[in-house]
Amino acid sequence: MVLLNVSCIQRFSTGDGPGIRTTVFLKGCNLHCPWCHNPENISPAPVTLFFEKAGKKESYGRMMEPRDVANDVLEDIEFYKKGGGGVTVSGGEPMLQPEGVSELAAILKSAGVPTLADTAGCVPWRSFETVLPYVNDFYFDVKAGTPAKYSSFVGGDLALIENNLRKLVLLGTNVTARIPLIPGFNDSDEELKRIGELIASSGVAHADILPFHRLGVAKYEAMGIGYTYKDTPPLPRERVLRAAEIMGKYAETGIE
């Protein structure tokens, strides 16, 4: 029996795809981005966050059958249909659980609800092959433009990521590249040009800039772990606009 390692299910998401959506966050990630704003989803193990100031605790992580996840999210099917939305699987890294994602997406597809996968793409191609019969929309993170930077800061294999991205585009899937704009990491003109060249060479037509934020600070505190970017201020608006200007030379670009 296939199970999904679910962190939480978030209804009425607005930044995880078009229209009104429900986002299914899955646990487990094979990267270690120091700016991650969902640290509760990095480990596949269950975790409880203690928010001392609010006097509450929240637990993340439970094994669920894809059918049970589908039954939960399909309670809002009328909202998806009226608002042009659907279901997004995110994480963590959802493509580490391709069999479960595939089964969930198949059920949703049979009900007329589309599934979007939000991935960093650092997985074997067979993971994408498993879900492609049922998932045709992808948000694909591109965090850096050089193999050395990707490997040392994020722990990913850029060649693998680029190969997966190119294959998805060649197969006609709907792929949006997502660039988390991180101060001091990938916000220089030079690095953005490298990322733009990678995206353009892969054939991706649309990219979104995701400006850095510190919304995950409370989660790190609640988990009792340090956060490298705790005191890093958000980038000035003009710097974000400059990033969009550079990226716009390589793909149609928006700012999330």
Q: Does the pLDDT of residue 54 top 90, yes or no?
A: no
What percent of the chain shows pLDDT beyond 90? 93
Beta pairing partners, 178: 141, 208
What is the tens place of the pLDDT at every residue in 102-148? 999 999 999 999 999 999 999 999 999 999 999 989 999 999 999 99
Q: Are strands 137-141 and 115-119 parallel, antiparallel or unpaired?
A: parallel
* Per-residue confidence band for 235, with pLDDT thresholds at 50, 70 and 90: very high
Q: What is the DSSP string of 86-148?
A: EEEEESS-GGGSHHHHHHHHHHHHHTT--EEEEE---S-HHHHHHHTTT--EEEEE---SSHH
Helices (H), the chain: 66-73, 77-83, 98-110, 125-131, 147-149, 158-170, 189-202, 217-223, 237-247
Q: How many CA atoms lie within 13 A of 229 on its CB side?
A: 21
Q: Does the pLDDT of residue 215 top 90, yes or no?
A: no
> Whole-model pTM?
0.96
Q: Please, are residues 139 and 145 in contact by the beta-carbon 8 Å criterion?
A: no
Q: Please, are residues 59 and 48 in contact by the beta-carbon 8 Å criterion?
A: yes
CA 256, distance to chain mean position in Å, is 13
Mean pLDDT for the chain overall: 96
Q: Give the chain's domains with CATH numbers.
A: 4-255 (3.20.20.70)
Helix (H) or strand (E) holding 51: strand 47-51
Which residue has 């991180």 as its token pair?
Answer: 182
- pLDDT reported for residue 53: 83
Spatial separation of the C-alpha atoms in residues 12 and 193, rounded to whole Å: 35
Tokens of 110: 């049979």
3-state secondary structure of 1: coil
